[in-house]
């Protein structure tokens, strides 16, 4: 995106990129939390799997 006020304020690929430190930290955070989220989703599916039914007579409103 080109700035009309000051060319130094233009947003290009170099100005929009994160620093090496930020990318390293976010990679470590992603490596830790993505498996945790997947395990949590698997656990909730396992716990709640029997609550879903296809029989209409088992539905209570």
List, for residues 6-47, the tens digit of each pLDDT value. 888 888 888 888 999 999 999 999 999 999 999 999 999 988
Rounded to a whole number of angstroms, the distance between the first and last alpha carbons of the chain is 54
Dist. CA 16–CA 8, nearest whole Å: 13
Place of tokens 């656990």: 43
Extents of the domains making up the chain: 18-52
Let me know how many helices (H) and strands (E) the chain has, helices first: 2, 0
Residue 36: burial class (beta carbons within 10 Å; 0-12, 13-18, 19+): exposed
The pTM of this model reads 0.57
């Amino acid at each position: 995106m080109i700035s009309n006020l000051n060319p130094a304020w233009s947003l290009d690929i170099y100005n929009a990129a994160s620093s090496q430190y930020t990318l390293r930290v976010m990679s470590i955070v992603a490596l830790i939390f993505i498996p945790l989220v997947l395990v949590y989703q698997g656990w909730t599916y396992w716990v709640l799997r029997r609550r879903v039914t296809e029989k209409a007579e088992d539905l209570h409103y």
